[in-house]
Amino acid sequence: MLDEIKTTRLAKKIAESGVASRREAERLIEAGHVKVDGVIVKTPVCFVTGENVITIDDKPISKTPDKIIVWKFHKPSGVLTTKRDTKNRKTVFDCIPKINQRLIYIGRLDYNTEGLLLFTNSGDLARKMELPSSGLKRTYRARILGTLTDEQVQKLKKGITVDGVKYGPIEVKFETPRNKQSANSWIQVTLSEGKNREIRKVMEYMSCKVNRLIRTSYGGITLGDLPRGAFVQLSDREMQEMLRRI
């Protein structure tokens, strides 16, 4: 019977609901917090269908929303992109309004990174937008201490490997003419992978230090003049344009 029904790994199903990331879901499963049809499951190697009732600490996870909605948030520096923090530091969920929707962030930003952070009520959409295979561009403004040479810019454009980690093509544009740059210069950086602290690590490898980083766009959605700390829903036009790119 199950061969005729689409099955999904339990941890993936939980992640798609927005309750936790897939890694966090695996930890919850192994700790015995998850039940499928009332039975505790302690192995992530478990497959479920849309007919199964999945609960975490006896609370059912949410079903796929009837309408997918996306919001954009201007994240300030000094805020964690996570649902909860064991050290009680401020998180993005402390900064956004409480609404009657389960929110999932799309592509986390580091503690000290500012700018555009997208939220959605669809775990499936969040997963698709984060996958490198989506090819969605992320653009940042970075203030760097140091100077990038033309040779370094070309290396970044081809992709480089740092400490055994391979980074895909990174496009760099200078906001200030090369002959007018000071010790701190602004550059625009565009990439499509968004690995952990990618820009900071790559620039450090190039002997430059990033002392400010602002994400200005993700998948064609731009930060624009959205004030710091503001949280707004995308318009229908923005939604249509974004979904076409996935």
Q: What residue type is 239 in one-letter code?
A: M
Q: What is the pLDDT of residue 18?
A: 67
Q: Which two tokens stand for residue 197?
A: 């602290």
Q: Residue 15: helix, strand or coil by DSSP?
A: helix
Per the structure, the count of domains in the chain is 3
Domain contains 65: no
Q: Residue 239: helix, strand or coil by DSSP?
A: helix
Clarify whether residues 147 and 169 are in a common domain. yes
Helices 22-30, 10-17: inter-axial angle, 10-degree rounding? 120
Would you name the residues annotated as active-site residues? Answer: 110
Q: What is the pLDDT of residue 1?
A: 34
Domain contains 238: yes
Supply the range of the domain harboring residue 204. Answer: 137-218
Residue that is last in its domain, among 60, 85, 101: 60
Clarify whether residues 127 and 229 are in a common domain. yes
Q: Which two tokens stand for residue 228?
A: 């710091």
Q: Which two tokens stand for residue 229?
A: 């700390």
Contact predicate 109/147, CB 8 Å: no
pLDDT digits (tens), the chain, 246 positions: 334 456 888 988 887 776 777 788 899 999 999 999 999 999 988 999 878 899 999 988 876 666 889 999 999 999 999 988 889 999 999 999 988 778 899 999 999 999 999 999 888 888 889 888 888 999 999 999 998 999 999 999 999 999 999 999 999 999 977 666 677 899 999 999 888 899 999 999 999 999 999 999 999 999 999 999 999 999 999 998 888 888
Distance CA 130, CA 138 (A): 10
Clarify whether residues 75 and 124 are in a common domain. yes
Distance CA 148, CA 202 (A): 11
Q: What is the pLDDT of residue 83?
A: 85
Distance CA 90, CA 81 (A): 9
Clarify whether residues 56 and 164 are in a common domain. no
Clarify whether residues 144 and 162 are in a common domain. yes
Q: What is the pLDDT of residue 4?
A: 45
Domain contains 25: yes
Confirm whether pTM is higher than 0.75.
Answer: yes
CATH number at residue 193: 3.30.2350.10
Backbone dihedral region for residue 229 (phi beyond 0: left; psi -120 to 50: alpha; all else: beta)? left
- What count of other Cβ atoms lies within 10 Å of the Cβ of residue 88? 7
Residue that is last in its domain, among 34, 60, 86: 60
Provide the Cα torsion 101, 219, 79, 143; round to 10°: -170
CATH number at residue 52: 3.10.290.10
